Amino acid sequence: MRESYKRSELAKLKDEFGFNYSKSLGQNFLTDRNIIENIADALELSGQENVVEIGAGAGAMTTVLSERAGEVFAIEIDRRMIPVLENVTEGLSNVRILNEDFLKIDGGSLPHKYKLVGNLPYYITTPIIAKVLEDPLIPMPEQMVFMMQKEVGERLMSPSGKKSYGAISVLVQYYCEVSKVCSVPRTVFVPSPNVDSIVLSFVPKKGLSDDADVVRQMFAIVKAGFSMRRKTLRNSLASLGLSEEVLLSALSSADISPERRAETLSPDDFLRLAKEISAK
């Protein structure tokens, strides 16, 4: 095995392996060993865990994960990157390379118990996170550590009442405890993107026992509320198809004024309202 590619070598990869970096696949490769170590540290690995890496690219994180995990499942959509990955992980018997689109993957390709990590392609950060949290075929990871565009990370962590707070914030904060691992400047990537990044850790909450229908109702409310975020709940939630009487009575039982807007409701407020609506 060899160390991951250095900055100068990454730039040459395209000549050696005959391809160009694909902007549309979000190919910005990490070159900073300290940041890779920070990400691996955040996963708190003991040497036993299965780690699934989304978008392994040229393997900068894969080799470090291989030193610390039981088994590494390196998922990469771009088949042109596979020989590069194979080259860098040669001799690492605990690395499995899967040439797949993570958005199309089903639970069958993933271990049952695992941690999930990735320097995520910017263009599909939120669909990836939504898939992990909502797709019943994907086993819930024990932890996720993801690098993403700074503004997207701020949205995921945003408290209610802020402009950055939206449907994806409620989804993530309902299912997970979210914390910041580190900031990442654009200069540590090849090629360099035109945004800065942030690494966040997501620990799924244990013991979430809300009824599946209530959770479905909650996310229907979230969707309706945020699709007309400037309107009051009285108006934005009309699209749920409830009678006004039922809606106002549920809001009142949940102690939420119909004159408030969705962006002022915490994930707990949405859940309480969903329970009241489901009980009507």
Phi first, then psi, for residue 74 (nearest 5°) are -100, 110
CB of 216 to ligand SAM, least distance (A): 26
Q: Report the phi/psi class of residue 58: left, alpha or beta, with left for phi > 0 and alpha for psi in -120 to 50.
A: alpha
CB of 110 to ligand SAM, least distance (A): 13
Q: For residue 77, give the 3-state DSSP assignment.
A: coil
CB of 55 to ligand SAM, least distance (A): 2
Nearer to ligand SAM, 101 or 268 (CB): 101
Nearer to ligand SAM, 188 or 271 (CB): 188
Nearer to ligand SAM, 62 or 173 (CB): 62
CB of 106 to ligand SAM, least distance (A): 13
How much of the chain is in helix, strand and coil states, percent to nearest 5?
A: 45, 20, 35
Nearer to ligand SAM, 76 or 263 (CB): 76
Name the residue whose CB lies closest to ligand SAM.
55
Start-end of H helices in the chain: 7-17, 33-42, 60-68, 82-88, 125-134, 150-157, 167-175, 212-227, 233-236, 244-253, 267-279
Q: What residues are paired with 149 via a beta bridge? A: 197
Q: Binding residues for ligand SAM, per CB under 6 A?
A: 25-30, 54-58, 60-61, 75-78, 81, 101-103, 119, 121, 124
Nearer to ligand SAM, 55 or 141 (CB): 55
Spatial neighbors of 280 by CB under 8 A, at least 6 apart, are: 242, 246, 249, 250
CB of 27 to ligand SAM, least distance (A): 5
